[in-house]
Amino acid sequence: MDMIPISYTVSTTPYTLSVISSGGAAGDGSSVVSEGQAYGVLAAALTIASMKEGDINYNEAKNKFEGYFNGWKQMCQNSNAHAFCQTPKYCNE
């Protein structure tokens, strides 16, 4: 699966990626929603799990995982008191 068309680089330090979603709650295709971001983390994790450390793309896959994870983490940190990302608010402590 190629995530490049739906990925956006939010930051290079720390490396942070968002997954651009469309349809449903995401609207017109220019939004980031928690479900899409979670799929990015999952897809990157599954990619790494299916590889061996000697794979030519292993380090790139690990980097992408870190980027999607940092994006998910940032979403959690940006959640406000009325839009919890988890209950209890693990992300906001």
Residue in this structure with the two tokens 């940032």, named with its chain if needed = 74
Q: What is the pTM of this model?
A: 0.76
Residue in this structure with the two tokens 């983390």, named with its chain if needed = 41
| pLDDT of 88 above 80 | no
More confident residue, 2 or 24: 2
Q: Are 71 and 19 in contact (CB under 8 A)?
A: yes
Question: What is the rounded average pLDDT of the residues 42-58?
Answer: 92
Residue 88, preceding peptide bond in cis (omega within 30° of 0): yes
